[in-house]
Structure 1
Amino acid sequence: MKNIIIVSFALLFAMNICAAKKSKVTPLQFNPDNGVKASLTMTDGKVVNYTAYTKLYFVTNVEDSTYQYMNIFVPEGATHQSPMFLRTYVGGYMASEAGYPQAQDASGRALAEGYVLVIPGSRGRTSTVKQGKKTIYTGRAPKALLDLKAAVRYLRHFDNVIPGNAEKIITDGTSAGGAMSSLLGATGNHPSYAPLLKAMGAADERDDVFASVCYCPITDLDHADMAYEWLYVNTDSRKSLSASKQALSQELAAQFPSYINSLGLKKADGTALNAENYLDYIKQILIKSAQEAKDAGADIPDSLGFSFSSMAAFQAPVNGQSSRPGMGNNRAEGMPGGERRPSVGRPGGGRKPSAGMPPMRISGRKMVGEYITDLDMGKYLNYVVSTQPLKGVPAFDSYNVDGAAASGENGEFGNAQGSDVNFTSWSAEKAGTAVSEEVKENVRLLNPMCFIGDGVSSVAPHWYIRHGARDRDTAFSVSINLAAKLQNSGKDVNFKLPWNRPHSGDYALNELFAWMAEIVK
């Protein structure tokens, strides 16, 4: 007889009382005998065998059967101690169906590395169902997050029969999915979500996670417009806008310093991170990113705004020739075949490299290992803008502001009838409306910054955050602030602005999975 595990009738009854009247009641269940054997061929030719468990509904009151279930994939050799990798494919705050492992991204890599892979579906701002002749939007904020939290609760509810360790859940997502991953990590077990999850029929379990992987998270939406304009207001792109748009950009940019100061963030050395030093803080992170890439062989042209160290004042004789003091980069670049390898001088012109300084070698216009000493942020931001046009003004809460159309985020905070709404008081005032209390609460529920360090949330102990060094989909500060607040709260945070990366995710998988291997030991 098949070993089907079902939540108790009493629990179902309690959950159903709170259910929406038109919901379909589907008992939570997991049958370990229902797995289907399959395999995945990785890009290197390796074949990964696994068992798939599909169409696992994670709530008892299923409002939208297209999305409110998950698929679980158990690789050969997995045990109840194997960590679990929860990959969400949410993008643009839209609905995401439960999918299957892909050899090209982190889902397939996770299987190959022995992780139990979980791919949940979730409703989004575009998901709808028909109720009679009416079209109902099922996934407006915070429904996607609730679905993902319900998925985590499901994994804990059946932890004794599903292979994998529900105490070692690592979430992963990109863009709006990165925001969802950050929210899963920041809002664990917070009571604000409890009544909403109960009404859905989610399992009465914990929903905190072990680690969150967040690629370019589009989050902190209620401050994203001011952050965006503060960063880009002086670019040539913004200066070419109409006078009314320029005025809006400047007005939004002026709000950002107060917001930064209100966060009370600190740098790694314990000093304050505030409006006065924030631009320099971004600059130092970008310099570090570019230096790391340069040391690996990347060509970093001067035109992006970087300044480079001069050659040593003294060069050692080569092949019996006399030394040639004062050689700069231009002359070094002209050496045939890179035969003369100048030593890096210490202060005072000594010949030995300074401690910790990487070796130099000729490579193109600049020298690999050469130190980046400064960055002209104006030039650099114009470079970023040249790779992809900026968003409009405002970038996120744009609905009816100076005639602008609604953004996806305006739809995210709309209602079940499909409305678009303003979700910041500034944009609402410009549009001649007001932000309702319901929308204000939904904005809060979708902002991880509101929960980190509040003493109530069970925040994930480990974080991997990446935002590309030329990703203009939201300001660098959104990920920087998230990382800083987590670090200030004592969390383990691995954060970078990877060099020359656009808006993207699941890259540098060797680096990601090496980090994951360390934290799950």
Structure 2
Amino acid sequence: MKRRQMVKALAGTAALPAVVGAAGGARAAGSGAASTSTGAVSAATRTKGSDPLAFDPANYTTLTTTVATSDGDKAVTYRFFKAVTYVADPVDVTYQSLNVSVPVEIDGKAVDASHAPIVFSNAVGGYMPSSTAGNTGIGQGVNAKLSLASGFVVVDPGARGRTLVDTAGVYYGVAPAAIVDLKAAIRYLRHNKGRVPGDTDRIVATGVSAGGALTSLLGASGDSDRYAPYLQELGAADASDAVFAAAPYCPITDLEHADMAYEWNWGTNPLPTGAQVDQTLSKELRSGFAEYQASLNLRGKNGFGRITARNYDAYMVKTHLEPSATRYLGALPDADRAAYLTANPWITWSGGRASFGWGDFLTHVGARKKNVPSFDTFTLAAPENNLFGVATTKARHFTQWSLRKATGDDGARLDADLPEKIDLMNPMYFIEHQNPGRSRHWFIRVGTKDSDTSLTVVGNLTAGLENLGDDVDTYMYWDGGHGANQDAPDFITWIRSVSGYAK
């Protein structure tokens, strides 16, 4: 396969770093159970003057799979379009490609998905690179599989990530590469309206952890012109990158405030060893969170008023945690509920409702997962430090607090390029600026025992969107950990409801 080196500026411009990438060549067909390759037309056979971003509707492999659903196992036959490059001038096609899965038969009944919602399911974790090139069929978790079995089109996008480095030592997947790539993939789908199966005006983005953060960002930043130089650099399609709806799970986001938020939430919880973190540092960060939270000027639902660091515990308990415990306990058989309440006497169960205090909840959660600071670590060892690397520098501080603590220089300032990149990676920036291209429909999930980040990340994301009048369905899974997904069928029901697609 032909290979070339793309030459780009390494710093000080909007250009993304370079890496040797593959370009050209026919698409490789997938493989799977009872597969039959169809469609002889490939990208390599198109005429020189043809659209380089035209989707080839004939280049697919037919696959079958069995999906476990709440209604029993379903046999699904689908068309699998493998490793389709979504930009005209890719840095690395291994990551800048997507797969498309289109159901054509479910339990022996023909399915027409030409106008079905498109579930855009990214598999990014830890802001690491994500490739679909090795996939031989749909395989992005329960939501994607249930979507396929529900008659929806599923798109699995790849994206560059923070650890990618070329032969010159340049990190070419650091911020904002991942979100730029996912936006380019959305633009590719929109550009191919009428060619790619599914309704490109009903794209539903979803992802977990860092993938949930990127999903939040896709939903909040739709059509923002702040990404334009990066997208143009890749030869992304001249189309909308707004998504209709967003379903982030346990998003690791609002990174420049994440250390503050973490200490507000988990600051007094012990480490797994039983030891306390440095409480002087923890209290400093908690103080910073109070200032940040006040600056958001968010108002709680049901007449709660402004959400501040002083009352956030009460708001979290009333709005998210008690409803979560109530739903969990209410669904248990009587004997199991009684046993759970006996083991957890700090919960009061009365009139079919759970009630408790914030302090008891924190004790119930137990050990915190991360030390202090949790995200912008003094040693530059956290994934997020790598995320904000640049050129041949692997990792950098992205908060002034950690930079000054680590260097001992009270006058130290962040590198000049960082403020823009930090904004481009944070959905709260676009929510605060009321971005008109944002999604209006949201399905947000996190576990109550998820101490990978603060629960206020989901709390603020939810409140910010609700304050703008958006349709937000947020739920915290009781006793759920990081990456929990306890109501996958509800995700499908939600898509049908917000999209109006009833088939």
Q: Give the TM-score range, shorter chain.
A: 0.7 to 0.9
Q: Is residue 251 from structure 1 mapped to residue 226 from structure 2 by the alignment?
A: no
Q: Return the letter of the residue paired with 1:291.
A: T
Range with greater deviation from structure 2 (61-70 or 71-80)? 71-80
In the TM superposition, what is the alpha-carbon distance from 1:429 to its structure 2 partner?
0.8
Which shifted more, 166-175 or 437-446? 437-446
Say if 1:498 and 1:434 are closer, same or farther in 2 by CA, change over 3 A: same
Contact 1:267/1:484 (CA < 8 Å) preserved in 2?
yes
In the alignment, is the contact (CA less than 8 A) between 1:64 and 1:138 conserved in 2? no
CA distance in 1, matches of 2:16, 2:382: 31
Quick one: structure 1 residues 64 and 461, their matched pair in 2 at CA, closer, same or farther if it must change by over 3 Å?
same
- Provide the rounded CA distance (Å) in 1 between the counterparts of 2:174 and 2:487: 33
1:175-210 deviation line (CA, Å, top 9, x unaligned) = 000001000000000010011100111001110001
Deviation at 1:420?
A: 1.0
Supply the distance in 1 between the matched residues of 2:163 and 2:176 (Cα, whole angstroms). 13
Deviation of 1:465 after TM superposition, in Å, equals 0.4
TM-score normalised over the length of structure 1: 0.79
Report the equivalent of 1:330.
none
The separation in 2 between residues aligned to 1:434 and 1:419, in whole angstroms, is 18
User: Is 1:289–2:329 an aligned residue pair?
Assistant: no
Q: What is the letter of the counterpart of residue 256 of structure 1?
A: F
Alignment of 1:177-188 (within 5 A): 177-188=211-222
* In 1, Cα distance between equivalents of 2:302 and 2:116: 36
| Pairing 1:291-306 to 2, within 5 Å after superposition | 291-297=326-332, 299=337, 300-301=340-341, 304=344, 306=346
Q: 1:54, 1:194 → 2: CA distance? A: 27
Are the equivalent residues in 2 in contact too, given 1:453–1:489 (CA < 8 A)?
Answer: no
**Is 1:123 aligned to residue 138 of structure 2?**
no
From the superposition, tell whether residues 202 and 449 of structure 1 become closer, same or farther in structure 2 (CA, over 3 Å).
same
Identical aligned residues as a percent: 37
Question: What's the secondary structure of 2:169's corresponding residue?
Answer: strand
Query: For the aligned residues, what is the CA RMSD?
Result: 2.2
- Seen in structure 2, the aligned counterparts of structure 1 residues 109 and 124 have a Cα distance that, compared at 3 Å, is same
Cα distance in 2 between the residues matched to 1:238 and 1:278: 25
1:497 is paired with a residue whose SS is: strand
Change (3 A) 1:256 1:303: farther
Asked if 1:37 corresponds to 2:37, the answer is no
Match of 2:365 among 384, 387, 390: 384
Distance 1:430 1:394 in 2: 10
Cα distance, 1:161 vs. partner? 0.9
For 2:396, give the aligned amino acid: V
What amino acid does structure 1 have at the position aligned with 2:88? T
**Distance across 2 between alignment mates of 1:91 and 1:489:** 29
Pairwise mapping of residues 137-156 of structure 1 onto structure 2 (< 5 A)? Answer: 137-156=171-190
2:383 alignment counterpart: 408
2:199 aligned residue: 165
User: 1:382, CA displacement in angstroms?
Assistant: 2.4
1:208-246 deviation line (CA, Å, top 9, x unaligned) = 001001100000001110011011222344996578x22
Partner of 1:494: 473
1:60 CA drift (Å): 1.2
1:66 aligns with 2:45: no
Deviations 1:153-182, CA, capped at 9 Å, x for gaps = 000011111110110000110000000100
Q: 1:69 to 1:103 in 2, by over 3 A?
A: closer
Matched-pair contact (CA < 8 Å) for 1:30–1:158: yes
Within 2, Cα distance between the matches of 1:22 and 1:410? 21
Q: Is residue 122–residue 140 contact of structure 2 (8 Å, CA) maintained in 1?
A: no
**2:498 matched to 1:519?**
yes
* Alignment partner, residue 276 of structure 1: 310
8 Å Cα contact 2:266-2:451 kept in structure 1: no
Distance 1:418 1:75, change over 3 A: farther
* Larger Cα-atom Rg: 1
Partner amino acid for 1:372? Answer: A
Where does structure 2 lack aligned partners over 5 or more consecutive residues? 1-14, 25-51, 105-110
| 3-state DSSP of counterpart to 2:181 | helix
Distance 1:290 1:20 in 2: 47
Pairing partner for 2:489 from 502, 510, 515: 510
2:400 maps to 425
Task: Please tell me the residue identity of whatever aligns with 1:218.
Answer: I
Offset of 1:430 from its aligned partner? 0.6
Farther-moved stretch of structure 1 (263-272 vs 64-73): 263-272
Q: Secondary structure at the match of 2:170?
A: strand
Q: Secondary structure at the match of 2:417?
A: helix
Matched, 1:372 2:372: no
Alignment partner, residue 13 of structure 1: none
8 Å contact kept, 2:378–2:405: no
Report the equivalent of 1:483: 462
Aligned-pair distance for 1:276? Answer: 2.8
The separation in 1 between residues aligned to 2:418 and 2:372, in whole angstroms, is 21
Residue 229 (str. 1) matches residue 263 (str. 2): yes
Specify whether residues 38 and 186 from structure 1 end up closer, same or farther in structure 2 by C-alpha distance, changes over 3 A only. Answer: same
Q: How does 1:203-352 map to 2 (within 5 A)?
A: 203-237=237-271, 241=275, 245-270=278-303, 271-284=305-318, 285-297=320-332, 299=337, 300-301=340-341, 304=344, 306-308=346-348
Q: CA deviation at 1:123?
A: 0.4
Runs (4+) off by over 6 Å: 18-23
* Residues 387-444 of structure 1 deviation map (CA, whole Å, 9 limit, x = unaligned): xx420110100033xxxx5100000001132421100111111112531121221111
Q: Which moved more, 1:139-148 or 1:390-399?
A: 390-399
Q: In structure 2, do the counterparts of structure 1 residues 423 and 303 end up closer, same or farther at CA, with 3 Å as the change threshold?
A: farther
| Structure 2 residue identity aligned to 1:233 | G
Distance 2:166 2:324 in 1: 46
Tell me the secondary structure at the aligned position of residue 414 of structure 1.
Answer: coil
Q: What is the Cα deviation at residue 511 of structure 1?
A: 1.4
2:220 & 2:131 partners in 1: Cα distance?
23
3-state SS, counterpart of residue 447 of structure 2: coil
Alignment gaps of 5+ in structure 1: 1-17, 311-356, 358-368
Aligned counterpart, 2:81: 53
In structure 2, relative to structure 1, the CA distance for the partners of 1:103 and 1:151 (3 Å cut) is closer
